[in-house]
A and B are shown apart, each in its own frame.
Chain A
Amino acid sequence: MTRSRIWAALILIWLPLAVTAFTWAAWSDRLPDRLPTHWSGTGPADGFSDATGFAVAILAVGVAAGVAALFVPRTRYLLAACGAVAGGAAGVWLAAASTDPVDTRLGWRFLWLVAGIGWAAVVAVVAGPQPGGHTPPPVTVTPLDLSPTERAAWSTTQRAPLLLTISVIAALVIAVVAAAGPVEIWPVLAVPVLTGLVFGRVRVTVDRRGVRLVAGLLDIPFKTVPLKDIVRADATEINPLEWGGWGYRITPGRSALVLRKGPGLVLYLTNGHLLAITMDDPRTPAALLGALVSG
C-alpha cells in the first residue's frame, strides 16, 4: 500500500458515484417518475420509489462512502469496505434505472448489484497488500550475546486464572441449563471447556527451532512459528483493545495471544504479519530471538 496506490483506491471508491450521477443525467428524460426499487423472487417489482428521491439517496450513500474512505484508517480492508458500499449503491441504482418500466422483472440486472459489491475486490487489488503491520519501531532489546558454541532455550508458563474461572463458571451454567432445561445445549459446553483447557495455561517456548505456543493443560502445541519466518522480536506493552480483545485474536495482518493487559513479546514475521503474546518478562525471549535470528 503505497501513497499512489491509496490515491488510486480512493479515486476508485468515488468512481461509482460519478457513474450514478452521469447515468442519472444522461437518462433523466427517459426515466419513469417512479422507479422499481424492490423485488421479491423472480417476479415483477413489488416496490417503487420516486426517481429523483431514489437517485439523491443513492448519491448520498456514494458520497458517504467516499468521505468515509478519506477518514478511515488507510487499511486495505476498510478501503475495500468503502468500495463495496459505494459500488453496491451504484449497482442498486443501475439495476433500478435500467429496468424496463413496463416489464419490471429484475432478471439479469441483478448482476449490476453483484458487480457493484464486487467493486470492493478491485479497490482491494489496487490498494495493494497491507504493509507489515505498523512501521516496525526500532529494536528496544539488545540481542543476547551467544557465542557459537552456546545453545540457549527459553520457556515460560502463562496462567490465566481469570479466564480459567470464567470458563469453569460458564461450563457449570451451561451444564445446569442443559440438564434442567428443555433445550439440548450440551454441545455448547465444548466452548468454555476448550477455551479453558487451551488458554487456561499456555507454555511459550523459544529455541533454535522458533517459537511455540503449547496448551499447557493438554500439552498440545497450537501455534508454531519456525525461526526462519521471524524477522525480529521485541518487547512491548500489549493493550488488548489494540489487538482485538482477549484470547487468541486474529485481525488482518496481526494475531495475538492476549491473556491480560501488560508486557508482551511481539514477533515481526517475514510475511509482514505480527504475532504478539502477553507474558511477564518479554525482554529475555526477545533478546534470545534477536541472537537466534541473526545467528
Chain B
Amino acid sequence: MLFRVDVAAAEPLADQIAAQVRGGVLRGELMPGERLPAARELADVLDVNLHTVLRAYAKLRDEELIELRRGRGAVVRGDADVARLRLLDLARQFVGEARRQGLGNAEMLAIVREAQP
C-alpha cells in the first residue's frame, strides 16, 4: 500500500501515518494478518523520526486495528473490524467538520440524534 505524508500539513505526521494505515485496511489493501513495514524502515523511507512512526503504530494498536509484537513487527489484526473502522472514519470527518464550525459536544450529539430516522 501507499504511504504518503505531507511534512507541511497541519495534521501531525503520526496521525497522517495512522490515517494511511486505516485507509489501507478500509480499502482492502491491507488484509488481516498482513505485516506493516517495520517502523524503522518506514521512518527511513518517509524520512521521518522513528518515534513518529512508533507513535502512529501505538495509536493503531490502541484502536485495536493492529498488533505490535516484539520481533514480528506490526500486523493487521485478524479481528480488525472494518465496519467499525468505516464508522469511525465517518465520525472523525463529522467531528472535524463540526469543530471547524465551532460546535460543542452537546450540539454534535444533538445532530447525531437528529440524524436518526
* B-chain residues with CB within 8 Å of residue A288 when the two chains form the complex: 2
* A-chain residues with CB within 8 Å of residue B46 when the two chains form the complex: 151-153, 207
Residue of A nearest to B3 (CB): A153
Residues 144-158 of chain A, each 1 if its beta carbon lies under 8 Å from chain B, else 0? 001101111111110
Ranked 10 nearest A-B pairs via Cβ: A149-B8, A207-B45, A153-B45, A152-B4, A154-B2, A150-B6, A151-B46, A153-B3, A149-B7, A151-B5
Residues 31-71 of chain B, each 1 if its beta carbon lies under 8 Å from chain A, else 0? 00011010000100111100000000000000000000000
**Which residue, A153, A205, A209, A288, has most C-beta atoms of chain B within 10 A?**
A153
**Which residue, A149, A155, A288, has most C-beta atoms of chain B within 10 A?**
A155
**Which residue, B2, B34, B37, has most C-beta atoms of chain A within 10 A?**
B2
* A-chain residues with CB within 8 Å of residue B103 when the two chains form the complex: none
Residues 129-173 of chain A, each 1 if its beta carbon lies under 8 Å from chain B, else 0? 000000000000000001101111111110000000000000000
Find residues 239-295 in chain A having any chain B CB closer than 8 Å to their own CB: 281, 284, 288
**Which residue, B4, B9, B29, has most C-beta atoms of chain A within 10 A?**
B4
- How many chain B residues touch A (Cβ–Cβ < 8 Å)? 18
* A-chain residues with CB within 8 Å of residue B29 when the two chains form the complex: 281
Q: Which residues of B line the A interface, CB within 8 A?
A: 1-9, 29, 34-35, 37, 42, 45-48
Q: Report Cα–Cα, A204/B4, bound state, in Å.
A: 17
* A-chain residues with CB within 8 Å of residue B45 when the two chains form the complex: 153, 205, 207-209
Q: Report Cα–Cα, A86/B81, bound state, in Å.
A: 69
Q: Report Cα–Cα, A157/B37, bound state, in Å.
A: 10
Contact A155 B1 (CB under 8 A): yes
Residue in B1, B34, B35, B47 whose beta carbon sits within 8 Å of that of A151 in the complex? B47
Contact B2 A151 (CB under 8 A): no
Residue in B3, B8, B37 whose beta carbon sits within 8 Å of that of A152 in the complex? B3
Contact B2 A149 (CB under 8 A): no
Q: Give the shortest distance, in Å, between A211 (CB) and chain B (any CB).
A: 12
Contact B1 A156 (CB under 8 A): yes
Contact A152 B2 (CB under 8 A): yes
Q: Report Cα–Cα, A149/B46, bound state, in Å.
A: 11
* B-chain residues with CB within 8 Å of residue A281 when the two chains form the complex: 29
Contact A151 B48 (CB under 8 A): yes
Q: Report Cα–Cα, A156/B4, bound state, in Å.
A: 15
Q: Report Cα–Cα, A147/B29, bound state, in Å.
A: 24
Contact A154 B3 (CB under 8 A): yes
* B-chain residues with CB within 8 Å of residue A205 when the two chains form the complex: 37, 45
**15 A/B residue pairs, CB under 8 Å, sorted by A:** A147-B6, A147-B8, A149-B7, A150-B5, A150-B7, A151-B7, A152-B5, A152-B46, A153-B3, A153-B42, A153-B46, A155-B37, A157-B35, A205-B45, A281-B29
Q: Report Cα–Cα, A147/B8, bound state, in Å.
A: 10
Find residues 205-234 in chain A having any chain B CB closer than 8 Å to their own CB: 205, 207-209
Q: Give the shortest distance, in Å, between A144 (CB) and chain B (any CB).
A: 8
Q: Give the shortest distance, in Å, between B29 (CB) and chain A (any CB).
A: 8
Q: Report Cα–Cα, A154/B42, bound state, in Å.
A: 10
Residue of A nearest to B5 (CB): A151
Contact A208 B2 (CB under 8 A): no
Residue of B nearest to A147 (CB): B6
Contact B48 A154 (CB under 8 A): no
Contact A150 B4 (CB under 8 A): yes
* A-chain residues with CB within 8 Å of residue B4 when the two chains form the complex: 146, 150-152
